[in-house]
């Protein structure tokens, strides 16, 4: 049973859910993007046990274990499901593999014919069933005070990988596809959107209390393209999820959206907007937090360098967002070269001043 604030339920008690419901708290709740990851020795040991990254994603007991590791170590206020945004394209029929030292590789969708060869959105669940089992395990094993967050990649970001077959510095292949055949590219976005709705809905049914939509490459969209391929799909996904699961809180992360952060949560129906670390917290407090909860936005480099600058920067973020609902987080994922002791220092600073 998910604990989400609705008219028919009592006020949420978990700190993350309280923030998402619009409550300002003296001490903001905290979690980190990629908090289960390679900076932790216990994660590296579990990944070695799994054999490779994809095997870890599809092994529910092990995926749950790495999700729980940072909760045991640090007592974060939320755990985020361990998975990968590219599991959805794999479930839609693309080949997916991870090249050692090079990251993910996919077979590609670069034409209307490739799009037609994809599986329908409703066919994804056989492939993704292990992910839902991971959520069920976590909903049983997490501490009672810890919020469980599910997630998916936003359609534009997922599409950039499906078109290019890999990550690219400027998302050039996806931009070229939409410029050459906007109708087919829009149809690809629609297919991903449909699959994402079903995928996140199944995570909620399995026990996720909050979901987050990661649009890691939203910043490469401008003007009408931002409206059509970042804003509109997020609005459609969130509306569908809230219709199926009334009261479900949703966090949206249109990374590097810049001035388009302003009004984004209101435009898409999100309960919170996550901010990358290029955003000035004072500006965001004035222009974004007025619409509700914000999440962020410490520079992840502080997790590597530590020391007094980490303490000062952490205090500055807390102070900037003190006037409204805030979930403390990094402005992007923690990096593999981070020092676990710096994470502990960040949490101590947040909670003890």
Q: List residues with catalytic annotation.
A: 34, 38, 47, 84, 161
Residues 340 and 349: their CA atoms lie apart, in Å, by 15
Q: Give 80's strand partners.
A: 149
| Adjacency order of strands within the sheet including 326-330 | 78-80, 147-153, 210-215, 250-254, 272-274, 293-298, 326-330
Nearest to 238 by CA among 175, 181, 196: 196
Q: Give 98's strand partners.
A: 104
Residues 160 and 179: their CA atoms lie apart, in Å, by 13
**DSSP track, 64-125:** HHHHHHHHHHH--SEEE----TTHHHHHTT--EEEETTTEEEE----SHHHHHTSPPGGG-H
Q: Give 150's strand partners.
A: 211
Instruction: With residue 196 as reference, give the H or E element that holds it.
Output: helix 182-206
Nearest 5°: phi and psi at 38? -70, -10
CB atoms within 10 A of CB 10: 8
Task: Provide the CB-side half-sphere exposure for 140 (13 A, CA).
Answer: 10
Residues 291 and 252: their CA atoms lie apart, in Å, by 13
Instruction: With residue 201 as reference, give the H or E element that holds it.
Output: helix 182-206
Nearest to 187 by CA among 136, 233, 148, 242: 233
């Amino acid at each position: 049973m998910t604990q989400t604030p609705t008219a028919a339920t009592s006020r949420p008690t978990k700190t993350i859910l309280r923030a998402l419901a619009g409550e300002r708290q003296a001490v903001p709740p905290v979690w980190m993007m990629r908090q289960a990851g390679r900076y932790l020795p216990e994660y590296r040991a579990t990944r070695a046990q799994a054999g490779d990254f994809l095997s870890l994603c599809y092994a529910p007991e092990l995926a749950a274990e790495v999700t729980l590791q940072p909760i045991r170590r640090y007592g974060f206020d939320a755990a985020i499901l361990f998975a990968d945004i590219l599991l959805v394209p794999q479930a839609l029929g693309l080949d997916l593999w991870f090249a050692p030292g090079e990251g993910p590789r996919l077979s590609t969708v670069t034409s209307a014919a490739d799009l037609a060869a994809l599986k329908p959105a409703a066919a994804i669940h056989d492939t993704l069933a292990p992910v839902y089992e991971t959520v069920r395990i976590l909903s049983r094993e997490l501490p009672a005070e810890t919020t469980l967050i599910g997630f998916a990649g936003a359609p534009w970001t997922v599409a950039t990988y499906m078109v290019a077959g890999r990550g690219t510095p400027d998302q050039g292949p996806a931009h070229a596809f939409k410029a050459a055949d906007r109708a087919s590219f829009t149809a690809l976005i629609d297919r991903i959107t449909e699959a994402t709705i079903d995928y996140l809905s199944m995570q909620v049914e399995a026990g996720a209390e909050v979901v987050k939509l990661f649009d890691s490459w939203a910043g490469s969209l401008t003007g009408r393209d931002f409206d059509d391929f970042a804003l509109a799909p997020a609005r459609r996904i969130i509306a569908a999820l809230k219709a199926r699961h009334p009261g479900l809180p949703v966090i949206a992360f249109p990374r590097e959206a810049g001035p388009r952060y302003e009004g984004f949560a209101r435009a898409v129906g999100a309960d919170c907007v996550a901010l990358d670390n290029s955003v000035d917290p004072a500006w965001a407090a004035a222009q974004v937090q007025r619409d509700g909860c914000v999440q962020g936005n410490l520079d992840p480099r502080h997790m590597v360098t530590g020391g007094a600058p980490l303490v000062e920067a952490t205090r500055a973020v807390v102070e900037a967002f003190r006037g409204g609902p805030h979930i403390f987080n990094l402005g992007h994922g923690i990096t593999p070269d981070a020092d676990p002791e710096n994470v502990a220092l960040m949490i101590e600073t947040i909670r003890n001043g």
